[in-house]
Amino acid sequence: MNVLVTGGCGYIGSHAALRLLEDGHAVTVVDDLTRGHKQVIEILKPLGDVRFVQDDLGRGDPIAHVMRQRSIDLVMHFGALAYVGESVEQPLRYYRKNTASSLGLLEAMEEAGVSKIVFSSTCATYGKPPKRYVPIPESCPQKPINPYGRSKLMVEQMLLDHAHAKKQRDETFACTMLRYFNVAGSDRKGRIGEDHDPETHLIPIALEVALGQRPHITIFGTDYDTEDGTCIRDYVHVEDLIDAHIEAMQQLDANELHTFNVGIGRGYSVREVIDAAATVTGKKIKVIEGDRRPGDPPTLFNNPKRINSELGWEAKIADLETIIDSAWQWRKQNPHGYG
């Protein structure tokens, strides 16, 4: 299959491109390198037929040309900005990069006759779910509390509206939307990993403290209604997440619409993550306790029943130390990331 991977130089997109190449697919990576790393392409080249295009997804005509030139069968759409705090400070940037660029991508697909897409959405579209919806099913009301979550929810709505219009015209369009929880870990062969600038994710920050690159890690809030007072989140290994994309791609038939949450179905607290990172690295990780951040729900984790039963997917790597160890092995070999 010929697959176009948007954001394929980023953390999750690069793992998708790697897996697709290993499975024998031809991959076209489109990335504007706002947060991606071009070095990834050199790592991917020995694995198979990969082409890199540096461009903005919002420029529909050039992207449509690439799709026709490469005879694209399906799009995996990861390209987006994903910092919640930044989205509050720069909402227009998020609506441009996430929502408007996705519109450009859909227009390019329409022009090039590409009718299948697997979309990288987020559990941030749920906002702060009521307790009765935790663990979170796909039926949980979507009430995002920040521009990042809203920018992704708008893309979901565009996909649904576009699919409905295509169906009314007896034209084909198929879409699977995958709402992720916290993604963690790295390729277990150590080829690619997680490298953000700035880094805001809990596990990489803990590993940076272990490497002596940060003096401490801050826990934002220790008085939540949880067993140890810190927030609880669902951590899915990036390879398991990509397995879900592969299953979605392989099972997506004409005119189908699917929505699945992707997570392991249980949560780990912030303290549990930091303690596990200390165990894996054998290093002391200094902790500073800070105030709560506005809008942080105490507990968020997935209800995996739908994706288990309908897609046949379940997490293979649910042990927290195993997840962290895969990230640690890459980070030790690449202490400054791709730089």
Three-state SS string across 253-282, please?
A: CCCCEEEEEECCCCCEEHHHHHHHHHHHHC
pLDDT digits (tens, 9 = 90+) for 47-76: 999 999 999 988 878 999 999 999 999 999
pTM score, whole prediction:
0.96
Identify residue 165 by its one-letter amino acid code: A
pLDDT at res. 254: 85
pLDDT digits (tens, 9 = 90+) for 186-229: 999 999 999 998 999 999 999 999 999 999 999 999 999 999 99
Give the single-character DSSP code of 125: G
pLDDT at res. 271: 98
Q: Using a pLDDT cut of 90, give the percent of the chain over it.
A: 94
| pLDDT at residue 294 is higher than 90 | no
Three-state DSSP at 228 gives coil
pLDDT digits (tens, 9 = 90+) for 239-267: 999 999 999 999 999 889 999 999 999 99
| Active site annotation includes 268 | no
What mean pLDDT value characterizes the chain? Answer: 96
pLDDT digits (tens, 9 = 90+) for 2-24: 999 999 999 999 999 999 999 99
Domains in the chain, start-ordered, CATH in brackets? Answer: 2-184+235-262 (3.40.50.720)
Cis amide linkage into residue 46, ω under 30° from 0: no
The active-site residue, picked from 11, 148, 235, 268, is 148
Q: How do beta strands 257-262 and 232-233 pair?
A: unpaired
